[in-house]
A and B are shown apart, each in its own frame.
Chain A
Amino acid sequence: MAHKKHDAHGSQDFISKYVFSVDHKVIGLQYLITSLLFLLFGFILLMILRWQLAYPGQPIPLIGRLLSDNLAPGGVLSPTFYNALGAMHGTIMIFLGVVPLGVGAFGNYILPLQIGAPDMAFPRLNMMSYWVYLPGGMLMLLSFFLPGGAAQSGWTSYPPLSVINPGQTVWLLAMLLIITSSLLGSINFLVTALNMRAPGMSLWRMPVFVWAQLVTAVLLLLAFPPLQAAAILQFMDRVAGTSFYLPANLVVFGETVRAAGGGLPLLWQHLFWFLAHPEVYVLILPAMGIVAEIIAANTRKPIFGYKEIVGAMIFLGGMSFVVWAHHMFVSGMSPKLSNFFLITTMIISVPSVALLTCLIFSLRGGSIRFTTPMLFALAFLPLFGIGGLTGLPLGLSTTDIYLHDTYYVIGHFHYVVVTGSIIALMGGVYHWFPKWFGRRMDDFWGKVHFWGSVICMNGVFFPMFIQGLSGVQRRLYDPTAQLHNLPTQPLNIVSSVFAWLLFVAQIPFIWNFFYSMFKGKKTEENPWKATTLEWACPSPPPHGNFEKTPHVYRGPYEYSVPGHKNDWTPQHVEA
């Protein structure tokens, strides 16, 4: 049952304190480190893949010799390994990297603190969610070493390809674990945010970040079970001879495939996108929550349109369940259905515009401090804007006919997820690092990391729009095999070089993160002079968080209140 404060202060040995911890902060940090490592690993896969795209058929320098002959004969990536790298890059970045970072790490650590709770509502369930996620992730990585290799059917795993291709069984098992972890987490977040708020913390006094996590938790709770069911059906198709997704009369390489009945590949697409579209908002909402927190603290003024932001998030979350088939305009689904999804997809952009408008209007009349986290939060605004805008021609059914499955799509979603989500999450790391470790990250190296990342990310993703417009399909092992892809082939080199430079730009971050954790400048409880409750307890907070349950007297962003001595009035300070 709910965590009692006095339980928390019991004696703890190393294992119960750092490994099988029930403390939301330790679990948050476990998620943080693990998901950052997965992000790095997923990024390394991409760098190998980008060599083949830039210089098709040429041996990969250095790494090529380390890869076995069935993966890269003579150092040249094989097409099956290329497909495996692509599928695993997508899966790892989304399911093992960005979501666990945004929800598992930030949500776990910050949400209970921001509502003045001593811990999550179900600490053991919380521990379990991490310990289901980690084996799921390890299993996913393990699949590289199995005969046949890792999954090769894209992160979308469309059957029948995914049913006949190697590597997919382990992918499905790993996904089942990862989904279970998300479900356990989301239930915990909902119960915690709704039941464990400190006295005075009404719903309309919750920080935007808490609202973002709350809406995200609802999305995870409602969207993941259909994918879980779908994954079980695909698993059955692979191992038990069922044919939920296999139509009758399949002939693969001249051999008739025995299918038990007439299944439908479209069924998987519906079930998959019913999760995967809300998943986009799972990736972006925590990021928006973080941006709102950082902007409020660094403009020294109340966030603009707090209720409008929250309303837009709820509307966005709700609408995200009725737009999924805009990924399926050319799938063979009835063209009559497309108009419904076209209209809902266009409508969903309105709350996104509202959110961005509120965030930019928050700058007006502020006293903007360009701290490292603020730079990341500010960069989020125009770059997420590009991601959002380029969603328009993809959401519009007619123009999507041409742009679907081209590099335009890749450019669009990477602008949303990388220069949107990841940029904001990076800002969050700099913002809350002092809370986590009681020390600050170095500002100079933070800024080097920021400028390096922002410039390189644009260098990687912007050329993709041009490639997409010129008709380059995605997921091509050798882009030079088709005539219409040749003119823009130099852009593949540009993207790849920037991808490798982007890696170089992460080195200052990695060094800064670990060095500052131990040797960084010590900081006070509230170094940013921020108003929300997480800054009202020591840095790092002890097990149990608050000495005394805080009482909340006001909304979350009372900065520069006229007549007050300080330019910040914390939520828990009376009068």
Chain B
Amino acid sequence: MEQASNYGWSLPVAASTFAKDIDFGINIIHVAMFAIFILWGIYFTYMLVKYRHKEGVPARYKHGGVLWSFVPDIVVLVFELTLIFLYAIPSWSRIKMSVPPAGKSLVLEVVAEQFAWSIHYPGPDGKFGRKDPKLVNASNVLGLDPHDPAAKDDIVTVNELHIPVGKPTVFNLTSKDVIHSFFVPEFRIKQDAMPGMRVPVWFEPTMAGKFEIGCAQLCGFGHALMRGDVFVHSPEEFEAWLSEQKPALPQTS
């Protein structure tokens, strides 16, 4: 699929399992908002026309129907409580509070910096190597420790996230410098990358293709240019891609 056709004048294509959860909420609230606004607007216009100043017609001193004024409050309260307990809390719990177990998911680390996304794959041994900020340099962007055996086969990509379709991707998100925010519109995923913290994030892509990673938190003069791509492959393609990758650290015998 051509990537540009993912986007338009409304919600982009939904390409993750929880995108439909979020879209459902956005759609239902907008339909309700629109209905409330139209009904309210009709009543408002009617009031303005009916009770416009006319010579010889005085205003009424007494207000009728005080109890009626609580009807909109109650309607809104019931609508909101329904949204909270039947939609928001359950969907929040699915999206943010139940991270899929390691065995069933692809586990990564994502590190943000001004103005790039580094993706850290554990390599064939499945273990993430130790990272030390003191070791960060142009050829070792994450500061992988060459003395840690687990680090030797680790793979690092910059601004390219490769993942398989149909399998949850779980990653710890952090930042080297300032706050960034990992945002892929098609996946409806957004999470701040907070320096000093590792925030667990997950999503499951449902569609193969190329998608865009943007930064949603002001991170400095290059904020607009901070972007990357997500390549969602079929499982076989993903394995092939992974096997072609060279370890990030120079190999010493």
Residues of chain A touching chain B, judged by Cβ–Cβ distance below 8 Å, are: 78-80, 83, 152-154, 158, 160-161, 164-165, 247-254, 256-257, 262-266, 299-302, 304-305, 308, 330-332, 335-336, 338-339, 342-343, 346-347, 349-350, 353-354, 357-358, 360-361, 363-370, 378, 381-382, 385-386, 389-390, 392-393, 396-399, 401-406, 466, 469-471, 473-479, 481-484, 486-488, 559-562, 567
Contacts and interface: CB of A to CB of B under 8 A. Distances in A.
A473 B37 contact: no
B59 interface: yes
With a 10 A CB-CB cut-off, give which of B33, B143, B183 has the most chain A CB atoms.
Answer: B183
Contacts of B176: 250-252
Nearest to B11: A469
Contacts of A305: 63, 66, 69
Given A357-B72, A401-B189, A470-B8, A367 B59 contact: yes
Give chain B's interface secondary structure class. mixed
With a 10 A CB-CB cut-off, give which of B12, B73, B218 has the most chain A CB atoms.
Answer: B218
Nearest to B23: A402
A470 B12 contact: yes
A481 B7 contact: no
Given A160-B179, A299-B59, A360-B47, A332 B227 contact: no
Contacts of B179: 158, 160-161, 265
Nearest to B63: A304
B62 to A, nearest CB: 8
Interface in B74-89: 76-77, 80-81, 83-84, 87-89
B36 interface: yes
Interface in B187-242: 188-192, 194-197, 199, 212, 214-225, 227
A474 B217 CA distance: 8
Given A390-B33, A471-B12, A382 B113 contact: no
B52 interface: yes
Interface stretch (B92-100, B122-130, B145-153, B244-252): B92-100
B83 A487 contact: no
B136 A473 contact: no
Given A477-B224, A483-B212, A392 B181 contact: no
Nearest to B19: A402
A399 B22 contact: yes
Nearest to A255: B136
Contacts of A476: 223-224
B40 to A, nearest CB: 6
Given A399-B22, A406-B216, A300 B59 contact: yes
Contact of A366 (B7, B12, B36, B59): B59
Nearest to A336: B97
Contacts of A405: 181, 183, 190, 216-217
B21 interface: yes
Nearest to A478: B224
A471 B7 contact: yes
B51 A363 contact: yes
B104 interface: no
With a 10 A CB-CB cut-off, give which of A252, A265, A332 has the most chain B CB atoms.
Answer: A332
B114 interface: yes
B88 to A, nearest CB: 5
A398 B87 contact: yes
The 9 lowest CB-CB distance pairs between A and B, nearest first, are A247-B196, A365-B60, A471-B185, A301-B59, A79-B221, A161-B178, A335-B96, A405-B216, A367-B59
Contacts of B59: 299-301, 365-367, 559-560, 567
